């Protein structure tokens, strides 16, 4: 074989290996936990190929994951196993305050004829050489909880990383993303590049986060897909859940300008959406789950003060109901600066607006909430304490 033939053969082999690598299914993002309650959770991840997907679940009993065959739970919809590149497996009927181990799987679907499906390769998270991933279901009777709140990161991974540096994740129950984690939603890759890949690397595989959508998550042609990546306990972007002594109300603020503003090109209807949300809020505060919690905390991106349209909508549509609900604290972002507003005749609960370069850390038991705000250097800059209302 002459030198020219050897060059061409080497080039052919290189291209063949490259194409082979490109053709293999791979997990591209995740997994991460969503919608965690005392009896269910949704596990989300993505692949580079369309596939059916499932989760294997095992008790945290010290046995090896391969000790026995583990039950499989598939991504399903309307009687079908879902074939997609975004995978959401909802695990139901779990036990409260219980730690589970899990492994994710995706098997590529190459072709689907009338009576025949051709499958490709299977990819999975590693449980052989690595410790399996875990999650722990919520416990409304837990004596003490710890959680963090971040907002207005706007795709600055270095900022988020610096705020979370030093976090003791084994002592942290949950995290809130309180809006504007990105500046706009233009693609799946931008969503993960802006903050989600960092969140998965740092904590989201095993520590749940709950998302309060901000006004910037409503912008861009990919924005309508937001609920697909962040499923909630209610199936809506506003929801309630309890962990330990706190019942959380997570409200979706919508956009900050009138629906008719030129910036939205006639594509939004947030005024009606906030009205719908207000009706839900009236009902949910009557539930025993809400009423029986020692503390009630509201998480929403836009605060109910200021002269912008969205702020007025929240003041007029949400606050009257919240005023009669015994709210202990509302946490907001949006303004990129720190503001603390004591309760007043118009709003009878305190409001904490967090700076975008600071992080809220909370420790709570059934008698007291302690709030500590830290900066990017981990220095504590402000503290607050709230007692159970008599």
pLDDT band at 23 (very low <50, low <70, confident <90, very high): confident
- pLDDT at residue number 2: 58
- pLDDT at residue number 17: 41
Looking at the structure, do residues 102 and 150 belong to the same domain, yes or no? no
pLDDT > 70 in the chain, percent: 94
Containing H/E element for 283? helix 270-284
Q: What is the SS3 assignment for 278? A: helix
Indicate the average pLDDT of the chain: 94
pLDDT band at 9 (very low <50, low <70, confident <90, very high): very low
Looking at the structure, do residues 36 and 167 belong to the same domain, yes or no? no
pLDDT digits (tens, 9 = 90+) for 310-350: 999 999 999 999 999 999 999 999 999 999 999 999 999 99
Whether a cis peptide bond, with omega within 30° of 0, leads into 31 is yes
- pLDDT at residue number 388: 82
Looking at the structure, do residues 295 and 381 belong to the same domain, yes or no? yes
Q: What is the CATH number of the domain that holds 170?
A: 3.60.21.10
16-30, 70-84, 209-223, 241-255, range with the lowest pLDDT: 16-30
**pLDDT for residue 128 is more than 90:** no
- pLDDT at residue number 4: 55
> Is 160 part of any domain?
yes
Phi-psi region of 235 (alpha: psi -120 to 50; beta: other; left: phi over 0): left
pLDDT band at 7 (very low <50, low <70, confident <90, very high): very low
Q: Which of 136, 169, 192 is the last residue of a domain?
A: 136
> Is 201 part of any domain?
yes
pLDDT > 90 in the chain, percent: 90
> Is 11 part of any domain?
no
Domain with 167 in it: 144-387
327 contacts 297 by C-beta, under 8 angstroms: yes
**pLDDT for residue 10 is more than 60:** no
Looking at the structure, do residues 230 and 374 belong to the same domain, yes or no? yes
Looking at the structure, do residues 123 and 164 belong to the same domain, yes or no? no
Looking at the structure, do residues 149 and 114 belong to the same domain, yes or no? no
Looking at the structure, do residues 166 and 122 belong to the same domain, yes or no? no
Over residues 261-280, the mean pLDDT reads 96
- pLDDT at residue number 13: 44
Q: How many CB atoms lie within 10 A of CB 261?
A: 13
Q: What is the CATH number of the domain that holds 81?
A: 2.60.40.10
Looking at the structure, do residues 97 and 196 belong to the same domain, yes or no? no
> Is 152 part of any domain?
yes
Domain count of the fold of the chain: 2
- pLDDT at residue number 354: 98
Q: Which of 95, 118, 136 is the last residue of a domain?
A: 136
**pLDDT for residue 16 is more than 90:** no
pLDDT digits (tens, 9 = 90+) for 274-293: 999 999 999 999 999 999 99
> What CA–CA distances, in Å, run from 192 to 28, 83, 156, 186?
10, 21, 12, 11
232 contacts 239 by C-beta, under 8 angstroms: yes
> Is 229 part of any domain?
yes
- pLDDT at residue number 158: 98
> Is 21 part of any domain?
no
- pLDDT at residue number 127: 81
Over residues 256-275, the mean pLDDT reads 95
Over residues 363-368, the mean pLDDT reads 96
Q: Residues of 272-304 as b/e, b for ≥16 C-beta within 10 angstroms? A: ebbeebbebbeebbeeeebeebbbbbbbbbbbb
Looking at the structure, do residues 221 and 292 belong to the same domain, yes or no? yes
Looking at the structure, do residues 160 and 198 belong to the same domain, yes or no? yes
Q: Which of 83, 107, 136 is the last residue of a domain?
A: 136
> Strand 329-332 to strand 351-353: parallel, antiparallel, or no bridges (unpaired)?
parallel
pLDDT digits (tens, 9 = 90+) for 232-256: 999 999 999 999 999 999 999 999 9
**pLDDT for residue 40 is more than 80:** yes
**pLDDT for residue 369 is more than 50:** yes
Looking at the structure, do residues 149 and 124 belong to the same domain, yes or no? no
- pLDDT at residue number 1: 56
pLDDT band at 203 (very low <50, low <70, confident <90, very high): very high
> Is 329 part of any domain?
yes
- pLDDT at residue number 5: 52
Give the phi and the psi of residue 200 in degrees, each rounded to 5: -65, -45
> Strand 295-299 to strand 246-250: parallel, antiparallel, or no bridges (unpaired)?
parallel
96: exposed, middle or buried (C-beta count within 10 Å: 0-12, 13-18, 19+)? middle
> Is 19 part of any domain?
no
Looking at the structure, do residues 347 and 200 belong to the same domain, yes or no? yes
């Amino acid at each position: 074989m002459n030198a020219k033939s050897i060059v061409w053969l080497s080039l052919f082999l290189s291209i063949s290996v490259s194409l082979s690598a490109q053709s293999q299914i791979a997990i591209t993002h995740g997994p991460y936990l969503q919608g965690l309650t005392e009896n269910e959770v949704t596990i989300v991840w993505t692949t580079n190929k369309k596939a059916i997907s499932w989760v294997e679940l095992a008790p945290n009993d010290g046995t090896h994951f391969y000790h026995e065959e583990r039950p499989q739970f598939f991504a399903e919809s309307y009687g079908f196993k879902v074939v997609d590149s975004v995978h959401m497996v909802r695990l139901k009927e779990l036990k409260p305050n219980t730690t589970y181990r899990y492994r994710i799987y995706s098997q590529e679907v190459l072709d689907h004829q009338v009576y025949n499906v051709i499958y490709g390769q299977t990819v999975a998270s590693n449980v052989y050489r690595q410790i399996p991933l875990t999650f722990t279901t919520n416990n409304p009777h837990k004596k003490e909880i710890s959680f963090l709140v971040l907002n207005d990161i706007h795709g600055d991974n270095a900022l988020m990383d610096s705020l979370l540096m030093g976090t003791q994740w084994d002592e942290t129950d949950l995290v809130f993303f309180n809006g504007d984690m990105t500046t706009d939603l233009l693609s799946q890759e931008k969503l993960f590049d802006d903050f989600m890949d960092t969140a998965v690397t740092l904590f989201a595989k095993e520590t749940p986060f709950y998302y309060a959508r901000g006004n910037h998550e409503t912008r861009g042609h990919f924005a309508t897909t937001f609920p697909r990546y962040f499923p909630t306990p209610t199936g809506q972007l506003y929801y309630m859940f309890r962990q330990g002594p706190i019942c959380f109300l997570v409200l979706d603020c919508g956009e900050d300008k009138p629906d008719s503003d030129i910036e939205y090109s006639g594509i939004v209807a947030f005024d009606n959406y906030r009205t719908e949300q207000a009706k839900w809020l009236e009902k949910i505060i009557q539930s025993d789950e809400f009423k029986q919690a020692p503390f009630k905390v509201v998480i929403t991106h836009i605060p109910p003060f200021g002269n912008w349209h969205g702020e007025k909508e929240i003041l007029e549509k949400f606050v009257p109901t919240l005023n009669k609900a015994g709210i202990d604290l509302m946490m907001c972002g949006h303004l990129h600066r720190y503001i603390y507003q004591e309760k007043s005749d118009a709003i009878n609960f305190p409001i904490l607006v967090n700076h975008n370069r600071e992080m809220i850390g909370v420790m709570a038991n059934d008698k007291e909430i302690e709030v500590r705000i830290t900066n990017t250097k981990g220095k504590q800059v402000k503290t607050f304490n709230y007692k159970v209302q008599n």
